[in-house]
Amino acid sequence: MQTDALPLRSVSQVGSIEDAVLQHGLGWRHIALEVCLEVLGKTIHHYCDLLSETVNEDGISRLYEDPRGAASLAQLQAGLMRAVKGLTTPTLERFQVAEEELRTIVSLHGDKMERVGDIVGRILIWLDNVCDPRARKTALRATALLARSHPQDVVLSCVAHTLSSDRCAIELWRALGEEPHLPREVLQQLLDKLQQRRRKEKSGNESPAAMRTIYEVLFLWGYREAILEMYPQMLILCVRQVHTSVEAVKTLFSMPGYWKEFASIQFQQGWDMISSRCYYSQGVGLIARAMIKFENPQLPAIFREAITIVQSEKEEEQRNIAMTFCTEVQSLRAQLPAIMDMFCDRDGRRVMGAMHQAGDIIYLLDGEGLGSISQDIAVSLRPFIDDERGSVRSAAILLLGNVVSSVKDPDKPIVQQEMIHCLLPLLLHLEDRDESVTLRCKLTLFRCAVFLRWAHLKTLFRSMAWDGSTQLMKCAWKCLMQNNKSHIPKFLFQALEYLESSQTTIRHSAALFIGNTIHHYCDFLSETVTEDGISRLYEAFQEVPLTCDRTTGHILNRYYKWLQKLRNLVSGSAFD
């Protein structure tokens, strides 16, 4: 064999080969083959390292495109799994190539992939056998990116996997929670899975596993907003599954703002009660009462959720649990008559306290309505709109607005007449000297307008929001007249009572209201006002200058000629 048969060997290596030939009788061809294989291996290793330093994102993406520019789904899936497995390579350069390859496939082609659930399942199985935190983080990030285009497939696959293997559960749910819009999807799928498991089989480990997954998710910050949004469904479902995880229910009450409820349940041994089969129902009732007592903002939604369960759930046990919540909330309505009796107390603070308490109950009953008692509340509040105490006026007007907003369609005819009777007082108190009363008058008057389905609500709202008091009074007067023409005589004679108000601004507003109404609706009033009504108007016009301030009398005098015209029209009508 010629001496150039070993061009890649060093002199020392050639010497060792010659020694091997002499000692072992090896042939030159055999030795040359050994040398070539060794050199080939080192060369491939060298060029792999070189490739890892030079391939960029565009180069990688071209690896998964056919000559026509369309990526093959089989190629994409195979390349994705090859990249995932390549994350465990021992060298940094190779890891970076695998990481870039994985990210490129998912970001550029993830939305075109099919059978994503199977792909995610394979990634999760691979994760169960990988300890390298760098590789795990990259794979989980890719899973989260896939979820952007295939949220349901990814979440369902993750739920199914973590029900049987919880090694990577926390890392997985944290990665998904960092993606916008995914936390709600995750929670919904977990709750659905929990309900399905419960219906299909009441024994086994699947339901506790689902409950445990929900419990773990409750501690992840990325899910906080979604948890608050879905709080009613989660609380009801967790209470229904509480025999598997009391801790999940406790965690829901550990969220910011709910510590009073938590403490109340804790001090009354509520957690022990709901853990016990014998005292379970009492424990559920205790939870409901704690939420009512401390005015939990989630209670109205929880009540609606419980109503839905009672109406639709087939399992008696679950219906009974929801019914416990409903019963506790429904008992609130029975408390209202006693609270209304406290409105007549001489102590203003107790009156305000009773009104606030009634308002809380109305809020908690949101979605259920008050029934016929709404009319009783409105009637009892009417005198307090003109109370001398500003704080009481303010509380009464606010409560009246809450009553109006809570009335449901079947009860509207009962309340409508009383609301109409309150319109004129609310309009005049837009000029109240107490700013809190003025503000609440705007809110309640607008609520009444919505309730009565006035026309031109946008115009009224804009005036309330941006106009000064004079322009607002003109706009409110115009809306009141146009939307309640048949009640104009009632408003006119109601306004006479306010000419004796202790507030100067309200006296002036009442005088303007009377004058403008007679001026602009003289012909209409002539058809409805009686001789006795005309006498009352004349009496007011003559006595006010003597008993009230000069400005009120001056305002009425400006419209005296219109009163005379009205009298003549009424007299003429009577004569005819």
pLDDT of residue 334: 75
pLDDT over 70 percentage in the chain: 78
Say how far apart CA 111 and CA 147 lie, in whole Å: 9
Question: Taken in order 499, 504, 508, 509, is the CA torsion positive or negative?
Answer: negative
| Average pLDDT, integer, range 528-556 | 89
CB contact at 8 A, 431 and 480? no
pLDDT score of 315 more than 70: no
pLDDT of residue 391: 93
**Lowest mean pLDDT: which of 89-93, 193-197, 273-277, 443-447?**
193-197
Mean pLDDT, the chain, whole residue set: 79
**Lowest mean pLDDT: which of 60-74, 136-150, 153-167?**
60-74
Per-domain residue ranges for the chain? 3-54, 496-576
Query: How distant, in Å, are the alpha carbons of 67, 542, 572 from that of 557?
Result: 95, 9, 23
pLDDT score of 197 more than 70: no
| Residue 246 backbone dihedrals phi, psi, to 5 degrees | -65, -30
| Average pLDDT, integer, range 130-135 | 81
Say how far apart CA 23 and CA 505 lie, in whole Å: 124
| Average pLDDT, integer, range 64-76 | 55
Most confident by average pLDDT, 240-244, 365-369, 445-449: 445-449
- Amino acid 460 reads L
pLDDT of residue 311: 66
| Residue 491 banded pLDDT, cuts 50, 70, 90 | very high
**Lowest mean pLDDT: which of 119-123, 339-343, 364-368, 373-377?**
364-368
Rounded to the nearest 10°, the torsion over CA 339, 341, 347, 353 is: 10
| Residue 455 banded pLDDT, cuts 50, 70, 90 | very high
| Residue 218 banded pLDDT, cuts 50, 70, 90 | confident
pLDDT of residue 459: 94
pLDDT score of 234 more than 50: yes
| Average pLDDT, integer, range 57-68 | 47
pLDDT of residue 476: 96
Higher pLDDT, 370 or 71: 370
pLDDT of residue 327: 76
pLDDT score of 54 more than 50: no
pLDDT of residue 527: 92
Which 8-state DSSP code applies to residue 518? Answer: H
| Average pLDDT, integer, range 405-415 | 80
Burial of 452 (0-12, 13-18, 19+ CB in 10 A): middle
Say how far apart CA 185 and CA 182 lie, in whole Å: 5
> How many C-beta atoms surround the C-beta of residue 187 within 10 A?
22
Higher pLDDT, 63 or 320: 320
**Lowest mean pLDDT: which of 241-255, 260-274, 288-302?**
241-255
pLDDT of residue 207: 57
pLDDT of residue 103: 77
Query: How distant, in Å, are the alpha carbons of 102, 397, 550 from that of 73?
Result: 15, 66, 90
In tens, the pLDDT along 421-436 reads 999 999 999 999 999 9
- Percent helix / strand / coil, the chain, rounded to 5: 80, 0, 20
